[in-house]
């Protein structure tokens, strides 16, 4: 172990010990979570005492748990939420450990997130589209019977819905080399729909409207209190800068003419404008990332360790 590694290890262990000591002193405990039992159908809180006496199947089926303060007389300790906070905190530390260097803990968190996020998307699409949209249309009766009891009784089946289902299933042909070409059909449908929609909407919102917003008066006069008008130099300068900047940037993006002479000089101004724009983007990106870090540290030091009372 070299000097540097020893230093960082001591720093890390010292930090852990300090945090452990601090958190043991807090009243809230470390990551302790409490809940109240609520009847889902009525919204009423079920006192913990009713747990043993009221044991009917219907009552148990409708119980949901709402977060509560430790001081709440009806609150009970929640194993699932407490363990959840601990796991979330440890995973957060696993990810932060990458700052020291790439390691097994980080890779573990990374592997978990790949699996969980893929699973999350599939489950969401299954319930939100395949059940709530496709099954509901193909068989409203079955949807009402098994999944969506609030489906209107007079809902009629729409068998046309089978076409996109078949078209969609054709993407799996890509896994079978002999009929892989059939997998292009659903792709073509998706690409065609997007292309058709975007052509009009981009032309309208991002081309015509943007040009219209750039057609500005270069000399602006504003009304005075006495009823006359005076030169609004601030607005005039602003408009002139906008028009010149947009034109020079567009010139820079115009590659059909060689950027020499006057075109070269204008496009150089365009580069400067873009650089200023990217500088602002950098500062605003910094702002977002720092806020996210703040949120994660608030989670560790408040929700988990209970060191901050926000």
Partner 1 sequence: MTSPLLDKLNTLDRRWIFLSMALAVLSPILLQIGSDETPSPPTIKLFDEIERLPEGSRILMAMDFDPTSAAELYPMALSFTRHCCLRHHKLYFVTIWPTGKPMIESTIKAVIGADFGSGDRPYQYGVDYVNLGYLAGEAVAISQISSDIRKARPQDARGTSLDELPIMSGVISVKEMDLIVNASAGFPGGKEWVQYAATPQKVPIAVGCTGVQSTQLFPYYPDQLLGLVTGIRGAIEYETMLAAKYPNPYANRSKRPAFLRGGAQRWAHRLMIGLIVLGNGIHLANRYRRTTHP
Partner 2 sequence: MSKTVPVLIASIVGCLMIVAYFSPPLLPARQMAEDWFTIVATIAIFLGGANLCLHHLKKISDREAGWGFSAVTLISFAITIAVGLLKIGVVPESEQQIKLAWSGPFQQEGSGFWWIYQYLFSPIVSTMFALLAFYVASAAFRAFRAKNLEAILLLITALIVLVGQTRDREITSLFLPPPAEGTPPYVPIADLTEFIRKTFVTAGQRAIMIGIALGVVATSLRILLGLDRSYLGGDE
- Residues forming contacts to partner 1 in the complex (CB under 8 A) are 4, 8, 99-100, 120-121, 124-125, 128-129, 132-133, 136, 147-152, 193-194, 197, 201-202, 204-206, 209-210, 212-213, 277, 280-281, 284-288, 290-295, 297-298, 301-302, 307-310
Task: Give, as ranges, the residues between 83 and 102 that touch partner 2 (CB under 8 A).
Answer: 84-85, 87-89, 91-92, 95-96, 98-99
Give which of partner 1, partner 2, none residue 301 binds (C-beta under 5 to 8 Å, depending on kind): partner 1
Give which of partner 1, partner 2, none residue 62 binds (C-beta under 5 to 8 Å, depending on kind): partner 2
Give which of partner 1, partner 2, none residue 132 binds (C-beta under 5 to 8 Å, depending on kind): partner 1
How far apart are alpha carbons 26 and 156 in whole angstroms? 60
Give which of partner 2, partner 1, none residue 222 binds (C-beta under 5 to 8 Å, depending on kind): none
CB within 8 Å of 232: residues ≥ 6 apart: 220, 221, 222
Among 34, 46, 186, 305, binds partner 2 (CB under 8 A): 186
Cβ distance to partner 1 smaller for residue 22 or 182: 22
258 contacts 270 by C-beta, under 8 angstroms: no
Cβ distance to partner 2 smaller for residue 123 or 308: 123
139 contacts 157 by C-beta, under 8 angstroms: yes
Q: How many helices (H) and strands (E) does the chain have?
A: 12, 6
Closest distance to partner 2 from the beta carbon of 47 (Å) = 18
Closest distance to partner 1 from the beta carbon of 48 (Å) = 22
Strands 63-68 and 34-39, bridge-based pairing: antiparallel
CB atoms within 10 A of CB 251: 19
DSSP-derived secondary structure letter, 31: S
Closest distance to partner 2 from the beta carbon of 210 (Å) = 5
DSSP-derived secondary structure letter, 138: H
Closest distance to partner 1 from the beta carbon of 192 (Å) = 12
94 contacts 105 by C-beta, under 8 angstroms: yes
How far apart are alpha carbons 45 and 57 in whole angstroms? 17
Give which of partner 1, partner 2, none residue 151 binds (C-beta under 5 to 8 Å, depending on kind): partner 1
How far apart are alpha carbons 25 and 19 in whole angstroms? 10
267 contacts 251 by C-beta, under 8 angstroms: yes
Give which of partner 1, partner 2, none residue 196 binds (C-beta under 5 to 8 Å, depending on kind): partner 2
Does 249 bind partner 2 (CB under 8 A)? Our answer is yes
Does 40 bind partner 2 (CB under 8 A)? Our answer is yes
How far apart are alpha carbons 80 and 87 in whole angstroms? 10
Among 142, 148, 155, 263, binds partner 2 (CB under 8 A): 148
Does 147 bind partner 2 (CB under 8 A)? Our answer is yes
273 contacts 245 by C-beta, under 8 angstroms: yes
Give which of partner 1, partner 2, none residue 100 binds (C-beta under 5 to 8 Å, depending on kind): partner 1
Give which of partner 1, partner 2, none residue 40 binds (C-beta under 5 to 8 Å, depending on kind): partner 2
Closest distance to partner 2 from the beta carbon of 227 (Å) = 25
How far apart are alpha carbons 31 and 80 in whole angstroms? 11
Degrees, nearest 5: CA angle 263-265-271: 100
């Amino acid at each position: 172990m070299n000097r540097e590694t020893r230093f960082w290890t001591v720093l890390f262990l010292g930090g852990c010990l300090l945090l452990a000591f601090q958190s043991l002193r807090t009243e809230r405990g470390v990551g302790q979570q409490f809940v109240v039992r609520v009847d889902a159908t009525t919204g009423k809180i079920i006192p913990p005492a009713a747990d043993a006496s009221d044991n009917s199947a219907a009552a148990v089926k409708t119980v949901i748990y709402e977060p509560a303060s430790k001081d709440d007389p009806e609150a009970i300790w929640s194993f699932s939420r407490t363990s959840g906070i601990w796991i979330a905190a440890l995973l957060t530390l696993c990810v932060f450990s990458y700052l020291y260097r790439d390691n097994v803990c980080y890779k573990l968190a990374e592997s978990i997130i790949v699996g969980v996020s893929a699973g999350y998307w599939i489950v969401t699409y299954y319930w939100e589209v395949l059940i709530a949209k496709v099954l509901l249309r193909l068989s409203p009766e079955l949807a009402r019977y098994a999944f969506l009891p609030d489906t209107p009784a007079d809902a009629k089946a729409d068998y046309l819905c089978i076409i996109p289902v078949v078209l969609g299933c054709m993407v799996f042909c890509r896994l079978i080399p002999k009929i892989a070409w059939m997998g292009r059909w659903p792709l073509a449908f998706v690409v065609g729909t997007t292309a058709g929609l975007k052509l009009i909407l981009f032309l309208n919102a991002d081309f015509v409207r943007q040009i219209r917003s750039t057609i500005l008066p270069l000399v602006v006069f504003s009304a005075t209190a006495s009823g006359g008008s005076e030169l609004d130099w601030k607005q005039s300068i602003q408009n002139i800068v906008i028009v010149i900047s947009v034109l020079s940037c567009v010139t820079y993006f115009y590659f059909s003419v060689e950027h020499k002479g006057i075109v070269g000089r204008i496009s150089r101004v365009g580069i400067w404008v873009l650089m200023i724009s990217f500088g602002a983007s950098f500062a605003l990106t910094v702002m977002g990332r720092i806020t996210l870090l703040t949120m994660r540290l608030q989670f560790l030091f408040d929700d988990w360790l209970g060191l901050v009372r926000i």
